[in-house]
């Protein structure tokens, strides 16, 4: 029988395990152990400050020990840090720490590799190796923050993998990160990203999950979206938009954030803007434009002028339009560049090398 790992058991469940073991004050002990792991960074039994007899009793009910080993690190000129972690079975994942004036954001992987093979993403070329366990995800977050000497304020599941393919594991990891007895990251500051898995979006909405959800759209033209994202053949735009409308109806006070990788000659022309206006009419959303990061040979990155022209045309949609600064892109840390099989520097091409900020506020600017 496989024992539950101490690093991925929530305090209430842990208290039940300790009570079943006949230990005294199981609730208090469970909270103490949880804090030791998730606040103080304990990785082994010896780090928990327990007597040997108690450690032995716990070891009969719980597994514990590090699940990752450090395999590399790179620091970008803008302060972005990328950590390469080796898993026990030899697979590798990457975690990125992004800094700005007010926040410290961890970009976490949810899978080793990815099955979706989006045309603009380096991770998809690896294929799917496996899902990450919740404890592996949380350990990558905890150890990356500790190595960087920071307390993470935000978490985004936008690293390697499709988070909603690993729905249960990612939601459990988010609960571990949000627990007030651990990292205590606000649910409003934990973001799950998806390429548009309609059944999982509907499940997310119907379960009333508290996390933010960002949806990768990249085009509202079916043929273009299929070219960029093969998953669009399974879940076409009408089905995806219907799921987004249900999500919006169930969370009326929240904006839906749509991610849009901007690629010249592919999805930045007037017909693309027309399609967005046609398909998304009546939906309350933010369009998060991400200049393409040269993750492969098939496309080129846009120039700053091309990005500015595109976002200016997007104003007529009447939605907030933002341009995401992708930290560490020169060093292969930017959006779509993660690929734990390599540590070579990624090409820079025509990247937008400084954060351009927000082009419009809520509503239309003249």
Can you spell out the DSSP letters for 189-248? GEEEEES--HHHHHHHHHHT--SEEEEE-S-SSHHHHHHH-GGGGTS-HHHHHHHHHHHH
Go through the chain and tell me how many residues it has: 366
* 8 labelled catalytic: no
CB within 8 Å of 28: residues ≥ 6 apart: none
The single residue of 107, 118, 319, 335 carrying the catalytic annotation is 335
| Cβ pair 105, 154 in contact under 8 A | yes
CB within 8 Å of 330: residues ≥ 6 apart: 76, 77, 345, 346, 348, 351, 353
CB within 8 Å of 141: residues ≥ 6 apart: 95, 106, 108, 152, 155, 177, 183
Task: Report the C-alpha gap between 150 and 148 in whole angstroms.
Answer: 6
The single residue of 94, 139, 279, 331 carrying the catalytic annotation is 94
* 94 labelled catalytic: yes
DSSP three-state, residue 327: coil
Residues with active-site annotation: 94, 335
């Amino acid at each position: 029988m496989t024992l539950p790992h101490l690093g991925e058991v929530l305090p209430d469940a842990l208290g039940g395990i300790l009570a079943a073991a006949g230990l005294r004050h199981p609730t208090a002990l469970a909270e103490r152990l949880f804090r030791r792991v998730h606040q103080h960074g304990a990785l082994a039994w010896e780090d928990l400050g327990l007597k040997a007899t108690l450690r032995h009793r716990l070891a009969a009910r719980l597994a514990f020990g590090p699940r990752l080993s450090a395999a590399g690190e790179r620091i970008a000129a803008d302060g972005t840090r990328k950590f390469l972690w080796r898993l026990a079975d030899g697979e590798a994942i990457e975690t990125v720490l992004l800094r700005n004036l007010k926040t410290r954001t961890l970009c976490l992987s949810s899978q080793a590799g990815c099955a979706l093979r989006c045309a603009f993403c380096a991770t998809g070329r690896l294929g799917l190796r496996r899902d990450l366990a919740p404890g592996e995800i949380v350990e990558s977050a905890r150890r990356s923050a500790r190595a960087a000497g920071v307390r993470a304020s935000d978490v985004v599941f936008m690293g390697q993998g499709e988070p909603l393919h690993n729905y249960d594991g990612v939601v459990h990891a988010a609960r571990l990160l949000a627990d007030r007895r651990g990292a205590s990251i606000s649910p409003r500051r934990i973001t799950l990203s998806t390429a548009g898995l309609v059944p999982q979006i509907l499940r997310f909405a119907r379960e009333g999950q508290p996390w933010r959800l960002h949806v990768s759209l990249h085009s509202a033209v079916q043929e273009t979206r299929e070219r960029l994202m093969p998953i669009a053949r399974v879940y076409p735009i009408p089905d995806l938009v219907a799921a987004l409308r249900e999500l919006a109806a169930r969370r009326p006070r929240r904006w839906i954030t749509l991610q849009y990788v901007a690629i010249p000659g592919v999805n930045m022309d007037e017909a693309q803007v027309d399609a967005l206006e046609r398909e998304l009419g009546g939906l309350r959303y933010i369009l998060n434009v991400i200049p393409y990061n040269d993750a492969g040979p098939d496309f080129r990155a846009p120039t700053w002028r091309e990005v500015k022209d595109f976002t200016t045309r997007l104003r007529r949609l009447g939605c907030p339009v933002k341009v995401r600064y992708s930290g560490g892109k020169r060093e292969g840390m930017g959006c779509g560049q993660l690929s734990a099989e390599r540590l070579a520097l990624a090409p820079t091409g025509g990247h937008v090398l400084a954060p351009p900020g927000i082009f419009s506020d809520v509503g239309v600017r003249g």
